[in-house]
Chain A
């Protein structure tokens, strides 16, 4: 599906399908342009605090 929207040079010949990550205004702009799009419901991944990592290092 992806290749059909671009020519051999890699330039889009028709509207691309876009996944948006972040600012919702940009997602809405894609919707308004009638472009196939999705808003990725992203949340920051869990990260250990340095203190917790040090504790785990001590116990494991």
Chain B
């Protein structure tokens, strides 16, 4: 039997609600569960699934839809859901209902992850209070994004996002970012996982960062014009602690990237730029140190800052030897690579490395707008060599993002392991105070059951992240996983293995 429980005037965020639904479905007494706010889209979806709903539900109401065998099971499951939600809310202060109620000067930054149209309103209220804005929310039009960023810039406020996943301010990791040691390098990133990787590698090499200013993934699109990146460069040029500035982005609008590089030419400090997918011509004639992968960006920053310099990565010979030993493990029916990535930039960087180092390998992906792979027919089923971006809407519309809850990737990992043609699985493991507290251990029992498969992981995290990077790496190695120093190294190894398979 199916029933929708409606809790009036109770707002909960979608990440938490999807997590509750997943936990409910793990119960033996629940056949199906769905939790959401009473939006028209959610109401229509539940009605399509055969649930009866009253007509007076509003978008302020929380809906918990359950399918169980008995009325008693429905009640028990609903009570469990409410208990979980109450647990999540119990520690929160309840003093404010919106940004306008905050006392002036009491808070410096507002971190927003509301639906787009509400996020914009609250962000403007924050700027009016001279607060900086960090916006995780992504569903904002490019026109609104530009207007908000210009409004913030004109009021002297930082506007990080929309669509900012990572930031580091005064040593505090924002959203899904990592805690990274203080040092002389300032990072401005239009790529969340890219910025986090560069910062963490800088730390790994013995240096550190003044801050990570995330601009949001669309800042260098033509309609937005790089408003935040340009404003942030000027800030870091004035910051006495920042000795080197690093710009991180996926490939964006050529004209905007060139404008940014021209502005960088006028700064007083050395600038490193990594626009993933860019060609040498983009950087030519500019003062910046232009590089083509995240690891080289970190190395260039450390070299220019003159602090740190510990070696990371495999030498070419080490890589060849390792790839040889991995390729020899492709016995019987094994012939394919499967990449399960949570960071979009990690997925793209891996595809780029494959194209450069294993050009005969045909890769399939669910990523849009990449020139390095063939689009999968469906994200639900891998074909041949496949690299999945599990942070894409294909996956996040169905379950919490893997970076917050590894359940969805674990399910896919098991699906790939069940495919007798799979010989190599690569994954990124992302750490930080705002992400899954235990992102890796769930895979280990399955890895230990199938030691014939090659596993390659790169761990992106800071020394001070709560998950304990050293422990996670040791645990993975103990399970037989090859732990690469960076995503770039992981991609180099996987591409080298596939190249050897093509050659034989």
A interface residues with partner B (beta carbon < 8 Å)? 1-2, 5-33, 35-36, 38-46
Contact = CB atoms under 8 A, between A and B. Distances in A.
Most chain-A Cβ atoms within 10 A of its Cβ — which of B97, B108, B132, B435? B108
Given A14-B170, A21-B111, A22-B112, 14 more contacts: A12-B211, A15-B172, A17-B106, A19-B99, A19-B110, A21-B98, A22-B111, A22-B114, A23-B15, A24-B16, A28-B91, A32-B466, A36-B107, A41-B93
A30 to B, nearest CB: 7
A22 B138 CA distance: 13
A21 to B, nearest CB: 5
* Chain A contact residues, majority secondary structure: loop
B384 interface: no
Interface string B377-406: 000000000000000000000000000100
Contacts of A5: 108, 170
Contacts of B122: 21, 42
B293 interface: no
Interface in B110-151: 110-114, 118-119, 122, 126, 130-132, 136-137
Contacts of B313: none
A3 B184 CA distance: 22
B238 A8 contact: yes
A41 B94 contact: yes
Contacts of B16: 23-25
B170 A16 contact: yes
Contacts, number: 165
A9 B236 contact: yes
Contact of B98 (A24, A26, A40): A40
B97 A41 contact: yes
Contact of A6 (B99, B108, B236, B433): B108
Nearest to B179: A33
B109 A31 contact: no
Given A18-B108, A26-B113, A43-B97, A33 B433 contact: yes
Given A14-B170, A31-B91, A41-B97, A24 B13 contact: yes
A26 B99 CA distance: 17
A32 B107 contact: no
B173 interface: yes
Contacts of B173: 29, 33
Smallest CB-CB A-B distances: 7 pairs: A22-B113, A12-B170, A29-B434, A9-B238, A29-B433, A16-B108, A9-B239
B210 A11 contact: yes
A11 to B, nearest CB: 4
Given A7-B239, A32-B433, A42-B98, A22 B466 contact: no
Interface in B82-107: 88-89, 91-99, 101-102, 105-107
A35 B111 CA distance: 13
Given A17-B107, A43-B60, A44-B11, A22 B137 contact: yes
B93 to A, nearest CB: 5
Given A2-B105, A13-B170, A40 B238 contact: no
Given A1-B106, A16-B169, A18-B107, A24 B158 contact: no
Nearest to B94: A41
Contacts of A46: 60
A44 B118 contact: yes
Nearest to B134: A18
Nearest to B176: A26
Contacts of A36: 107
Given A1-B105, A12-B108, A44-B59, A22 B92 contact: no
B366 interface: no
Nearest to B113: A22
A42 B122 CA distance: 10
B321 interface: no
A44 B57 CA distance: 14
Contact of A26 (B9, B88, B111): B111
Contacts of B486: none
Contacts of B172: 12, 15-16, 18, 30, 33, 35
Contacts of A10: 156, 158, 235, 238
Interface string B166-184: 0001111111000100000
B28 interface: no
Contact of A19 (B102, B130, B242): B102
A19 to B, nearest CB: 4
8 contacts: A7-B241, A9-B236, A16-B172, A22-B112, A29-B434, A40-B101, A42-B118, A43-B60
